[in-house]
Amino acid sequence: MLRPLTIEEWIKEGNVPIIDVRSPAEHKHGHIPDAHTLPLFNDEERAKIGTLYKQVGKSEAILSGLDIVGPKMSAIIKQANELATNPKDAGHKTVRVHCWRGGMRSNSVAWLLNTAGFEKVFTLIGGYKAYRNWVLKTFEITYPLLILGGKTGSAKTEILNELANRKEPVIDLERLAHHKGSAFGWIGEQPQPSQEQFENNLAQDLYRLDPSDIWLEDESERIGLVRIPHPLFEQIRKAPVYFIDIPKQVRIQHLVKTYSHFGDEKLELSILRISKRLGGLNTKLALEALTKKEYDRVADITLNYYDKYYEGGVARRLPSSVIRITSDTIDPVSNADLILHHKSKSIHGIHKTHSV
């Protein structure tokens, strides 16, 4: 059975495998999360067909496309079979297939798979372009956000993970961005996704969460090379912040443990990236400390800048929206306990600093 789906219907078929028949370059630039790339044309072939279509005509482009696709049909069916086979019911194969606009590429592959015996082949009306429109609209929705704040080195990611373990709805922006936010945030991470892919992954995570309070970490609008979509960032800036206030020396120990084993060359590069903000003297002192492997001193100097920067960001929020929680530990379990305890009190309008 062949069936075109609206974007809303497509999203709801979340357990059905997705086949992206666009070219490898299109897929790499941005794709639906969990989609499998099975290109009808490679990048060069797509360019050739496009040129023929514009310069000669549609009929010639179609004939050339058929010449290219013919030898690939068997391989396409075999790969689709591997993706679509349900271990519990191998006789009922269902897939979703999409291209850029929901046109000839996806419809051709859908027809081929249907002919090859697939029980259900869904196509996406409007293609990936419709999906991108859905992604952007996702950020226009108003969400009940709760923001986890804290100065650099407060182990906020670990606290978020602990909150997630307790079934609290969590969006980990730094995980999605493959970056921890600061000039040192790229160290130990995979290459960052494109802006488009970051948005796709973020929208999918938002959609999958229950519409209750959603925890996010307090971030700048830019996380490395990607940006939080502006409508969502505006919501983050207006949401209540649970600020975990941990002593500097405790945070220094955490930062040394986190970064010191990645190599001094990466640390030096990161220090140089913020040299204008640190100032000439502090940059010199930090690099000298790094040469002596005095990692705690490096962290101390750089935190002087980051702490002022973060406090400046907090100061621009409404004072009533910032709930400060003091802690003398980096332990995420203890700090998650504190935050959830304070959240419970906040629900009843009680915003007082809580300590351990």
Active site residues per annotation: 99
Closest CA to 110 of 126, 97, 93: 97
- Contact status, residue 178 vs residue 221, Cβ threshold 8 Å: no
Distance of CA 323 to the CA centre of its chain: 27
Cα(54)–Cα(34) distance, rounded to whole angstroms? 33
Sole residue written with tokens 């959240």: 343
Cα(234)–Cα(228) distance, rounded to whole angstroms? 10
Angle at 135 between CA 132 and CA 140, to 5 degrees: 130
Helical ranges in 178-261 per DSSP H: 195-208, 230-238, 248-259
Cα(102)–Cα(318) distance, rounded to whole angstroms? 46
The dihedral over CA atoms of 196, 202, 207, 208, expressed in degrees to the nearest 10, equals 130
Helix (H/G/I), strand (E/B), else coil: 45: helix
Rg of the chain over Cα atoms, rounded to whole angstroms, equals: 25
Sole residue written with tokens 């069916």: 77
